[in-house]
Amino acid sequence: PSYENISDVFSKFKNLAYSLPGNIARETSLEATNAYQIFGSIRPIWEYVKDNTWQSILKVYTLPQILESFQFNIPEKILDKLLSLSSEDDVMKTIENNKNGQGYNDEQKSTFVKHYISKINNKLNPTNFHQLIIENLGMGLVGYLPLDFIVKNNIFNDNNVLRDIANYLHLMSPLQKDALATKVYHALTSDSTSSLVSDSPPLNLESSKSINILAGVLSSLSPRQVIKVVGNNIGSLLNSQQLRLDTSCTTALGLLNRTIEAKRIDRNFKPDPQLLHRWQECYSGCDLSDLLITKNDIKELLRNHPNPVGCERLINEVKKEYDLENRMTTAKLRSVADVFGSLYRPDEISSLSQGLMADLGTDETFIEKLGQQDLDPNEARAIINKIPRHVQEKWNKNILGKLGNLIPGLDDNIITYILQKRGNLPTLFSERMKPFIRKLSPSKIRLLIDKAGSYATEASIHTYKPLVVSDYAKKFISSATLMRIINQPPDIIRFLRFTPAQAAGVIQNRFDGSLHSLSHIGSFLNGLTKNEVEKIKPEDSLQAVRSVFGSKENRNIDNAMQSGTRYAFGNVLQKGLKEREHSDNPNQYIQGLFREDDLVEDLNPQIFATMTNAELDAVNRLKSEQADKFWKAVGSINEPVCCSFVQENRVRLTNYALSHYGSNTGEIDVSKLSQLGPFLTSSLPAKDLRRITTDGLMNKLDYFKSPCFQPSKEQAQALGSRLNNALNEVDDKLKSLYLDLIGELAVYLPNEIASSKEVLAERTSFLAKSIEKLNVRDERCTLPDTDGFLSKAKINIKKNLISAFIDSLSHRQRRQTDMKKRNLTCDNLRKIGSVISVLTPQQIDSIANDQLYLCIDLFGKQTDFESRNVYRIAQNYIRALTDQNRHLHSVTPTEIFNLGEIFTGFTPSQLNALKNQYFKDGNILSAVGNLQNWNADQLKVLTRFATDDSSRLSPILLENGGKLLCVVDDELLRRTPLEDVKSYLVILANIDCPIGTNYSDIMFDVTKNAYKNEIYQPHIFGSLGNIAAGLKPTDVNLLSKNLMNFLPVEAIKKLPKDVMQQFTAEQLDGLNIEQIKAIPSTVFSVLGASQQNILNKILYPFITSGKNRY
């Protein structure tokens, strides 16, 4: 073949002279005995043997005999060839001999079944289906039926056939199940849309075997389909023990509906508590305790509830069951430690006895259970503050492995004190703890990484691995600590991911394009720039790509790779395929993906997204099973790398996949969504989203909840419209379940939601919490907000929810609200959660001052209030203090923490009345300095408190001050000691100052003075964050094309137009897609034509028209 090196192949043939038995000569007759000898001895050249030679061998040495002798040692490609050339009888005998499938891999089993089906397909009918398929293939092979066979063969429209095959759904892949499920569902329900053969008997659920069929099909159905197909058979289904505890929420909510209905009919009906505990994770209702008996089971419901704050009934039930409403004891609190954060609000925690909490503070088991709960920093702080400091100071290092979500509430001084104690550092993050990294302030992240990293060893690195892996946290690692970590042996750090800039700092000048140097880079592959990747020689290309994208150990590390580097490796892959196949024709060289090394199977699929249109055309001309494998791989591209592709590329890939699967027109049902996979489904353009069936959509909602779904305005509206259609198609009883399932996707619903206000009011608290999930995604997967569409959508859904909630209050309460009688209570407000951010000024004023004071921590968490409302709430809070006969001077640190964003509503004169000593405390500075909505005048007051007119900035202020540093006197900022600049650079770089301040301009000069020419080292320059926005036009010519790879995205958003216009086309060619997407449209529009052309070429490498598309 043309892709082989002729000398390598010739040497294999020459060696046959030594491997062939001596008794075989040219004129020897071919017989069964010597055919066996020949078959084994020519193994090195199996792939080159012509079909007619194989046919000659198979006449005297049949496939069953070959497999009996060589069993599992025949490559899939050769097995495929031998099966295709064998007679029907030999194939059938082969299947008979191997129906248990033992010893063969999945691909070999699929090959057996594919050829068997092709041999018997013409004589297959509903009458002999059981014998030819079920009996002949047996348990070992029946699960490997080709997908095309299932989807396209009309035999699966026969009920007898469905009854047979449905018994084996548990052996099949999700894709096969989804393909069969709709047909089985129609058969089970006699649905009028079914195309079943009319004279075959319908399925029924009278036997246990039929219950097994039902259990097998549920995972592919929507909730309403589950409800319809299960009917009144929920008892039999639950008793069959066929249901898995890890069933999806889609299935769980359908089964829950049937269970609640069964309980209504039969009061003695008691389902398995473990199932209810799992279902509660998906269900925001509060009535499942009616189905349980023991208090521990009821407590477990609260522990698993997706929104405990909205479930007052369940909270009160647990308090009653555990006698928490009477005299409190340590024993009682220990018994509810795992739901403590759900039972008590911060203000309730603050009222607990100090003695009780002092006792419990010494109980590490109790502490660990608290740490595993999803506490916010205020809740954590309330709990920690109730544990006396002398108890905290007695904690040893081991406690750090148990505090979990309590760590954000710890005083930095306590953390430092504990870290200085003797003993080994425990693992800081257990699998059972809900993630709390993003709740940590920069100073705490720095403390944990820098203090723990000061003696970086294999053991200590593993203890804080989640911090080093977290994109949010690792940008706060100081240069000194980073160098200590990266100097560890490769085996220790190979699972850690570093930012491209950090990695580049390590490998600079160490990569010369050779495979040897590539093998020594290890965890720092994402530090390569596209210029460096281009050094790889064509003959080394495929091996280089495999070393970067093929190794199982590297599968997740390269998720941090910049898009430009990925596209450069895409070019390397193309060169390698051309070199291997000796062809520049895509139809030829694309075959190289499917040779014995099977690159499609082995490579991380993100590299396939860099292919040209001509290459994707060639993929779609391949054999069906090869193209299937390719598109299945592309469909599995996962987060966060999926978020780095521009929308046009995603749509392009999806259109090619739809074309391959023949799904360009007509409905897209659950099986077609499974074929596409999560990445391609979440990339569907608006016109195709509208083609998804309602039931398919509801079954695959997780595809759209994935961060990979990065919708344009049109896509978001199309999805919202389809979700609204789904709500419209079910009655009010099911609407609440559907809203539970829709969750955060409710943000895309249109203004006219197809649900009554009563149902919306019931789900207001849950939906409000769900929508907040969109704000805490991986930084690389933040949702696009083109033209403010997403912001407006959030406001609209919140207005819908608050309107429904207020309407649901009693008639008397509604009347009082309209009359401004101040009846919205703190309890009301806690139920609606983040929805309070769209309260009108009149509604805010309807809240009594004492109620607003009680709930100020809830207001303080919200970051999307209008500034006028932040001011209004702050002033009402101050009135509440006045009602308590208190002056602003009496505001305590805890109250400042609770105020949160509302603190930015204080006027400068009101801030001036506070105690200035508070603003010398690092914990308060960290909380206050990172609030979003400060203006310069307010910051100047707080900065004066923090600096006290000193001649230099204190380390505490540099580490924790945040935005307070934005308004520090220019000369004072310039006098920052150079060693402090280097020590706190990563924190100073991430300060996002208000418009009109000079922070970036001054700090860039200060930093340049501290580092001199080293500032242009990738790991330093790439860590400058917002400071890099202080680049001057005179600095631009010092930036190399390679260094442009690491120009921080935060800075690109703020660079002045005159600076951007100074960049040459060659420099701009060093940017990546994610950087270009950050350029404001107002800046992009004033760039020169050559600048725009090069940027568009990077954004859209697959578009050849040259048209500007930004």
pLDDT digits (tens, 9 = 90+) for 559-615: 668 899 999 999 999 999 999 898 999 999 999 999 877 899 889 999 999 999 999
Asked whether the beta carbons of 1046 and 501 are under 8 A apart, the reply is: yes
CA distance 63 to 65: 5
* Residue 649 tokens, joined: 């590329």
Hey, which bits of 682-824 come out as E strands? none
- pLDDT of res. 789: 94
- pLDDT of res. 1081: 92
Residue bearing the bigger pLDDT, 990 or 186: 990
Which whole number is the average pLDDT over 806-823?
60
* Residue 54 tokens, joined: 């194989």
Could you check whether the bond before residue 640 is cis, i.e. omega within 30 degrees of 0?
yes
Which whole number is the average pLDDT over 959-966?
94
Q: Which amino acid is at 294?
A: T
- pLDDT of res. 405: 92
CA distance 941 to 960: 16
Return the bridge partners of 386, or none. none
The CA radius of gyration of the chain, in Å to the nearest whole number, is: 33
Quickly state the pLDDT bin for 195 (edges 50, 70, 90). very low
CA distance 651 to 688: 10
Residue 191 has pLDDT above 60, yes or no: no
- Over residues 125-179, the pLDDT tens digits come to 999 999 999 999 999 999 999 998 998 899 998 888 988 898 888 889 999 999 9
- pLDDT of res. 457: 66
- pLDDT of res. 38: 87
Asked whether the beta carbons of 1074 and 644 are under 8 A apart, the reply is: yes
- pLDDT of res. 813: 56
714, with CB counted inside 10 A (0-12, 13-18, 19+), is middle
- pLDDT of res. 455: 54
CA distance 205 to 184: 12
Count the Cβ atoms, other than its own, within 10 Å of residue 704. 25
Asked whether the beta carbons of 340 and 365 are under 8 A apart, the reply is: no
- pLDDT of res. 814: 53
Using DSSP's 3-state secondary structure scheme, residue 230 falls into helix
Quickly state the pLDDT bin for 453 (edges 50, 70, 90). low
Residue 553 has pLDDT above 70, yes or no: no
- pLDDT of res. 790: 95
CA distance 20 to 17: 6
Count the Cβ atoms, other than its own, within 10 Å of residue 599. 22
- pLDDT of res. 454: 56
CA distance 93 to 68: 11
- pLDDT of res. 77: 85
Residue with tokens 């199996």, as numbered in its chain? 46
* Residue 930 tokens, joined: 């990172």
DSSP 427: P
Hey, which bits of 40-121 come out as E strands? none
- pLDDT of res. 207: 59
Pick from 115-119, 597-601, 679-683: least confident = 597-601
Q: How far apart are the first and last CA of the chain?
A: 45
Residues of the chain by 3-state class (helix, strand, coil), percent to 5: 70, 0, 30
- pLDDT of res. 22: 81
- pLDDT of res. 1106: 39
* Residue 600 tokens, joined: 């499609």
- pLDDT of res. 812: 47
- pLDDT of res. 745: 98
Pick from 547-551, 953-957, 1025-1029, 1083-1087: least confident = 547-551
Name the maximum alpha-carbon separation found in the chain.
Answer: 115
- Over residues 12-65, the pLDDT tens digits come to 888 887 888 888 888 888 888 888 888 888 888 898 899 999 999 999 999 999
Which whole number is the average pLDDT over 1072-1098?
94
- pLDDT of res. 473: 80
- pLDDT of res. 202: 47
- pLDDT of res. 635: 96
Please name which of 217, 281, 294, 289 lies closest in space to residue 252, comparing C-alpha atoms: 281
Residue with tokens 């503070």, as numbered in its chain? 361
- pLDDT of res. 184: 85
Which whole number is the average pLDDT over 335-358?
91
The helix (run of H) or strand (run of E) holding residue 323 is none
Helices then strands, each counted (H, E), the chain: 75, 0
Pick from 373-387, 506-520, 1008-1022: least confident = 506-520
Return the bridge partners of 668, or none. 692
Summary mean pLDDT of the chain: 89
- pLDDT of res. 194: 34
Quickly state the pLDDT bin for 103 (edges 50, 70, 90). confident
Residue 196 has pLDDT above 60, yes or no: no
- pLDDT of res. 478: 76
> Length of the chain, please?
1110
Give 704's contacts (C-beta < 8 A, 6+ positions apart): 681, 682, 719, 745
Return the bridge partners of 692, or none. 668
CA distance 967 to 953: 12
Residue bearing the bigger pLDDT, 188 or 195: 188
- pLDDT of res. 903: 98
- Over residues 503-536, the pLDDT tens digits come to 888 888 889 999 999 888 877 888 899 999 999 9
- pLDDT of res. 574: 96
Pick from 206-220, 676-690, 747-761: least confident = 206-220
